[in-house]
Structure 1
Amino acid sequence: MINQLKRHVENLHKCYVSAENEAGFIREDEKEALRRKQERLRSSKAEIVKNIVDGRIITERSIEGKTIIDYGIKMQNVIRRGKQLHIEEQVQVRRAVTEGGKIIDDYVLYREGVGEGENEEGERNGSPYLPFEGTRRSSPAYSYDRLAVVRYAERWWNDYNPAYKVFENNCTNYVSQCLMAGGAPMWGIPQRTKGWWYRNNNWSFSWSVAHALRWYLSGAKEGLQAIEVERPEDLLNGDLICYDFNGDGRWQHTTVVTAKDEENMPLVNAQTTNSRMRYWAYEDSTAWTPEIKYKFFHIIDRDF
């Protein structure tokens, strides 16, 4: 079974590189995501010049004649655009279902866009943070160290800082930690619907919930502050992107900018599907839909 799973992972990675369905049963939403990624690479005159994949079995159990194997894979793609090279990395936790010694199904667990607009109790967090309505914000009193943000994002993109709680959908918690590493100030303690903070294993909704952080960034008049910009090209390292995959007003995912490509487009780090130097638009996500909406937030400080 181990050898069969190894061959399956190798074929699966070929799908991610070429968008060809070598695995035989990759689900339709993944196939569409891979086609979109390949189209973006072609349209931007980029290509994957080298790829590496590694994997390990996490758990294995038998249920009603079938074997359920949860396993993790780490994929690394060296992408060339013009004269620039960068390494895009992604870690997936997947589930393979076998019957009679053959793999009959395989899919990703813990995908972005699933449950990330909810709070940790699984309830919708309605929008406690409202956008500005002509009120002038205060001048930020802090400096924001963008290099420190990137260093933290690179250190922890595929690991979990033991100083913080880990959520099943961890994207916004991870991004908040990156912000704090850059010197963003906390405020609002101990009210969970106010401010942006984490203390003594307690936290604001805006710290851990994508939907709440999006509205906080639009409305904050003190502490951590940001302004919305119209284009991804206007973002700098340490800035944030929020994602409403379905375009229905429920913001489900958050990423942090860690680099720019040769066309000045952001490359982002994120968790849930742990990713490093991923292209900002997320066309390669199964959560992507044609109705997707983005919010681009530039973090401001006293030097703004």
Structure 2
Amino acid sequence: MFELLQDLFEMRVNQFVTDKRSHRVFFPKAEKKQAALAKRSAEIVKVKATGKIMEEVSEEEFQTVKYLAHYQYLIKQKGIFYLEEEMEERLAKFYKGALVMDEERIPKEDVYSHQETIEAVTDETDERLSYQYDRLKAVQYAERWWNSYNPAYKKFEVDCTNFISQCLHTGGAPMRGYPNRGTGWWLQSSNWSYSWAVANSLRLYLGNSKAGLRAREVSSPDQLLLGDVICYDFEGDGRYNHNTIVTGKDANGMPLVNAHTYNSRKRYWAYEDSSAYTPNIKYKFFSIIDL
């Protein structure tokens, strides 16, 4: 089975760097990524893909494999090179040794209701918590843990917002509101506020908080600094379902981001190459306020 996956990865690697003028690209992920890069005058000059089998089930002549794919892209843009990385959980099925299906496993939605996420930010206090936001420490944390999980914190199945909260807290943002889950922004042992771990709640919290961790919404991504936050509403329905942290800038001065759930490092902020992307996508750009 390992040899079959290796063959699959070799085929994918070639398609990421295929010259589309003379070859047809069959792998949708490669085609989307090439198109997104071309829009900003960038290209993949080298790619490495490796896999790790998580689970394997055999039933007569069928084999089902759940595995992690790790992609590393060397990207060139206006003479500048940088490395982008991402992890992807996939499910492949083979029949008599031939691949019959290979698809990405989309992470589940946050488990809390829309009403709960709204309540997460409505109760503000006059409490003033002074702090200096250390952007470098926040980014260093995002780089250290982009593809693993700090045992000092609780791990969530849908971990994107928990990861961003950890980065902000490492940068010096103070927790407040315990033990009310619908108030403030905090994590205590096995309990947490909705704003700490639910994507839509953090978006609402950053847009409304008057104490402790605060942010200013800006109109465009190029206004963001390292350590700032981008929120994503993939369907454009008003419920935001993903968050990232800015960890770099590309040759055009646009953000590159790190994230969990869709574990990514130095990914272009717009997520146009994501399987979750839709033409209705909406973004919120938050710059953290130093107190």
Instruction: Report the CA distance between 1:85 and its aligned residue.
Output: 1.2
Instruction: Report the CA distance between 1:16 and its aligned residue.
Output: 3.9
Match of 1:179?
A: 168
Query: Equivalent of 2:105, from 103, 106, 109?
Result: 109
Query: Equivalent of 1:58, from 25, 44, 54?
Result: 54
Instruction: Report the CA distance between 1:65 and its aligned residue.
Output: 4.6
Alignment of 1:206-285 (within 5 A): 206-285=195-274
TM-score relative to the length of structure 2? 0.91
Deviation readout 1:42-98 (Å, 9 max, x if unpaired): 222211112112222221112475211111121111111113211000111211111
Match of 2:66?
A: 70
- Kindly provide the amino acid, as one letter, of the partner of residue 7 in structure 1: D
2-side partners of 1:297 and 1:140: how far apart? Answer: 19
Q: Percent identity?
A: 46
Contact (CA 8 Å) 1:229, 1:297: kept in 2 or not?
yes
Instruction: Report the CA distance between 1:189 and its aligned residue.
Output: 0.3
1-side partners of 2:288 and 2:17: how far apart? Answer: 34
Structure 1 gap segments, 5+ residues each: none
SS in structure 2 at match of 1:103: strand
1-side partners of 2:217 and 2:187: how far apart? Answer: 24
Deviation readout 1:130-189 (Å, 9 max, x if unpaired): 689xx9x98762100000001000000001000112111110011110001100010000
Task: Note closer, same or farther for the CA distance 1:243–1:75 as it changes in structure 2 (3 Å cut).
Answer: same
Instruction: Report the CA distance between 1:2 and its aligned residue.
Output: 2.2
2-side partners of 1:38 and 1:165: how far apart? Answer: 36
Instruction: Report the CA distance between 1:268 and its aligned residue.
Output: 0.1
Deviation readout 1:86-111 (Å, 9 max, x if unpaired): 10001112111111221100111244
SS in structure 2 at match of 1:127: helix
Structure 2 gap segments, 5+ residues each: none
The yes-or-no answer on 1:293 pairing with 2:282 is: yes
| Higher alpha-carbon deviation: 63-72 or 273-282 | 63-72
TM-score relative to the length of structure 1? 0.88
1-side partners of 2:281 and 2:182: how far apart? Answer: 26
The yes-or-no answer on 1:5 pairing with 2:1 is: no
2-side partners of 1:186 and 1:127: how far apart? Answer: 19
Query: Equivalent of 1:46, from 42, 46, 53?
Result: 42
The yes-or-no answer on 1:197 pairing with 2:193 is: no
1-side partners of 2:191 and 2:117: how far apart? Answer: 19
RMSD of equivalent CA atoms: 2.3
